[in-house]
Chain A
Amino acid sequence: MQKLPYVVVANPHLSHVYEMYYKAFEKFRVFPEIRTLEDNDKYCDALRDTLKEHLTVIPNLAMGVLECQGLVEPEVMDGFMNTMLRARISRRVIAEQHLALTETFNSPWHIPDSMARTDLNADFVGEVFLKCNAKDVVERCGKLAQDLMVQSSGSNKIPEISVRGHLTATFPYILGHLEYIIGELLRNSIQAVGERYKDASSQPPPIEILICEAPQHVIMRISDQGGGVPREVLPYLWSFNKGPHTEIRLENLGQVPAMAATMQELTVPIDRKHADKETYRESSLSSLTSRPPNLRLGMGLPMSRVYAEYWAGSLELHSLEGYGVDAFLQISKLGNKNEQVTERASLDAL
């Protein structure tokens, strides 16, 4: 961030982010070496606080970047945003991984000698959720997105979601990331279909999801008939800071920082993930995942792509203008050595 032009970092949102990073760096720089479990607990508390504090980073970054539109080349800004987000993923995953490991260690049923993989909670190793069943995740996210849509629009024109293909496909992944991506995609689809068929007498066509499993990867195709992406928007689809709807997005984003703090508490008790697993792990994404659907931030797709690419996957979108959109999410099966280790290592160094 220090390399950005002064005028950009002088932006209140970006300078806020800068301050936060500076503070966090300072906090951990002076942190004494961890020698005992008590030290570790303290360290974990610090980590947890920092993680929580930094929940506001994404909205702030997004707003800052939008406000600085025109000050820097859009490509530079997008590059900056991508790097920031990727590096942020690394940091949070490392931190959350440690917290989760500590938590497992402290849980009553933990036997220090046993291997993590063989313990009762075998679905988890720290943060990485070992068995993601694509179909389950899709259905869970779909249900949530549908509910949100019903709440916000009160309409009964909510498309069904049908899943087919290799329904038994499982793969190791970070559940939070996967849920975020699929949530964003489904939210887009449901919204588009819902709006298109708002005044139609017939029920809207279903959103079709295809899961395709190959030895190296799992591909999910989400096809809707929501009318497609208007062609003037298409080139800006993956950009954080340009496009025709900047002002609306900025306004909407203004409401998110508050949410990141408050929605978090609201959603935690009912959050399905935490209810399921009895492990309290807050994720920066859950607040974004469960925001009201009428808030369009315009960064769901670029964010999702950053998350997808971080784990050596990809996210593509094909629009049939006037008909609908097909989104392709490719997920590499982790542990196949095909994550872009070197690229990530260089990013982590940032």
Chain B
Amino acid sequence: MALRHPVTRIPLRQRHNLVSAYLYSTASLVGRSSDSVSPGTNVGEDDIARLAACRRRPLSLGDLLKHGRPPLSKEALLDSANFTLSLLPARLAYRIQALRNLPFIVVSNPHISKIYNNYLQSLSTLLPYQQRRISTIEEEKQFTEVMANLVQTHTNTIPILARGFLECRKYVSSADVTKFLDTHLRARIGTRLIAEQHLALHLASQHVGEKDTKQRRESVPPNYIGVIDTALSPARIIKSCELFVGEICELKYGVCPRLLVGGEPDTTFAYVPVHVEYIITELLKNAFRAVVESGNEREPIEVTIAAAPDVPGNHVHEVGNHVHEVPQWLANSSSHHWADTDFESRIRFGSDPNESAASDTIRLSGASSQSITIRIRDRGGGIPPEVLPNVWSYSFSTFSDNVSTSSNGNIDALNSISGSGGNMSSIAGLGYGLPLSRAYAEYFGGSIAVQSLWGWGTDVYLTLQGIGKIE
């Protein structure tokens, strides 16, 4: 899955000079992306303004599940398509507007302008559908293809943006970059989820009469609803990520620390597996690297899985009724974070009782939410106090140290990106791991906290809010 290795494959030569880097990468982009569109696409200014002004609904896991368990009926599938269609253009328009509000010189950067154009183009392909409802299977199929294209186009957004902002670091303050990226990436998570959910539903419910129905159905385990795994086992994901990270680690350092899983490894909950996979991989990478580099590879990394007892339904119902967007206690706990995040990337807790009642195949039992906490404890020496304040900002990596201080910092950082693009086995580098993981975790009301014991090790706490039991 593309999310797992947000690395670019665009070749990048090491350039000291910003200008030549510009020239070079412009050339490479033009040569590479024939589909990139000039700013004067057929999207009207007023369209963007109008759409961006639309009220964007916060997305909940419940929203994604409301169309029922695949295979969907024809109506449900069309519903899903229309639902997807109703959300996406406004979201894209809003992103376009946010990009437009960046300083001119930043959007002039070829990487960032490429992303900008991608968004413009995606919006223009969606706009024709805006005028009407999707009412036949053929239309739905066509729409799904457009969707698939869209998802494909935007796969590399993160590394490209990363490079763009890296090159622009002279012109924007890193606080602004962090703020923009935070909002952008969070919004992107939602947009992609909506699109991918529809794609997955479409795939899983290819209609009766088509020959490969059986085959397709078998390829999707029954506990999946679109991109959501209703019986996601954190322990299993940890194991597979351990293997993956362990391999890289072995390759790079020749040693590989052990990993102990404790707590309640049998627990399962409903969540988006791709997100969990991404987060766990990033966290394990950090832990493995720290342990090996501090020479403590004999000390095992301890992972503890804790499952909160299900909160009784009535409690959550109360929350759902009182607060429509973010429950107070949730908002308090991370208010600093939501304050500057735009509406579309906010989450809504649980699901609207009316909405879940509308679907007849899936009922959320009392809309209770499960909460899973995973603690990853390593003996890798901890995070130096002077680094600690920076761990949540984008493009800060311990690997390319002194990026901001040394004069050739830019090159180091670029190297590490291109390095990870080249052979993908680089264990550190992009510097997006932690903040992006946090964006994923917080998207559905979870959190990540890092506690460093400098001189000993680091504890990372990952909390994820599942969607509750599904009958």
Contacts and interface: CB of A to CB of B under 8 A. Distances in A.
Interface of A: 165-166, 210, 212-214, 216-217, 219, 221, 228, 231-232, 234-236, 316, 318-324, 326, 328
B380 to A, nearest CB: 13
Nearest to A319: B373
B371 A321 contact: yes
Contacts of A322: 264, 306-309, 371, 373
A320 B455 contact: no
A321 B373 contact: yes
Given A214-B454, A231-B371, A326-B375, A320 B329 contact: no
B332 A235 contact: yes
A197 to B, nearest CB: 16
Contact of A235 (B333, B371, B453, B459): B333
Interface in B242-284: 263-264
Nearest to B375: A320
Contacts of B315: 232
A321 B454 contact: no
B332 A323 contact: no
Interface string B432-459: 0000000000000000010101111001
B103 interface: no
Nearest to A215: B455
15 contacts: A166-B455, A210-B453, A212-B455, A231-B308, A232-B315, A234-B333, A235-B332, A235-B333, A318-B449, A320-B461, A322-B264, A322-B371, A323-B307, A326-B451, A328-B453
Nearest to A316: B451
B304 interface: yes
Interface string B222-250: 00000000000000000000000000000
A321 B456 contact: no
A323 B329 contact: no
Interface in B193-213: none
Interface string B308-325: 110100010000000000
A216 B385 contact: yes
Interface of B: 263-264, 304, 306-309, 311, 315, 328-329, 332-333, 371, 373, 375, 382, 385, 449, 451, 453-456, 459, 461, 463
B387 to A, nearest CB: 13
A69 to B, nearest CB: 15
Given A212-B455, A320-B306, A328-B453, 15 more contacts: A214-B455, A219-B454, A221-B453, A231-B308, A231-B329, A235-B328, A318-B461, A319-B373, A321-B308, A321-B371, A322-B307, A322-B308, A323-B304, A323-B307, A326-B451
B312 to A, nearest CB: 11
Nearest to B262: A323
Contact of A320 (B311, B332, B373, B382): B373
A228 B308 contact: yes
Contact of A219 (B264, B332, B375, B453): B453
Nearest to A211: B456
Contacts of B328: 235
A318 B263 contact: no
B456 A323 contact: no
Nearest to B451: A328
A324 B329 CA distance: 20
A232 B461 CA distance: 18
B18 to A, nearest CB: 38
Q: Which of A231, A316, A324 has the most CB of B within 10 A?
A: A231
A238 to B, nearest CB: 11
A324 B373 CA distance: 10
A231 B454 CA distance: 28
A40 B296 CA distance: 58
B329 A234 contact: yes
A209 B306 CA distance: 19
A228 B307 CA distance: 10
Contacts of B307: 322-323
Given A216-B385, A231-B329, A231-B371, A323 B263 contact: yes
Nearest to A244: B329
A321 B306 contact: yes
Contacts of A318: 375, 449, 451, 459, 461
A321 B385 CA distance: 28
Given A216-B385, A326-B375, A231 B311 contact: yes
Contacts of B385: 216
B453 A323 contact: no
4 smallest beta-carbon distances between A and B, as pairs: A323-B306, A321-B308, A320-B306, A212-B456
B453 A320 contact: no
A318 B448 CA distance: 10
Contacts of A235: 328-329, 332-333
A212 B371 CA distance: 30
A232 B368 CA distance: 13
A165 B456 contact: yes
Nearest to B310: A322
A210 B306 CA distance: 20
Contacts of B375: 318, 320, 326
A228 B306 contact: yes
Contacts of A221: 451, 453, 459
A297 B315 CA distance: 25
Contacts of B332: 235
B465 to A, nearest CB: 9
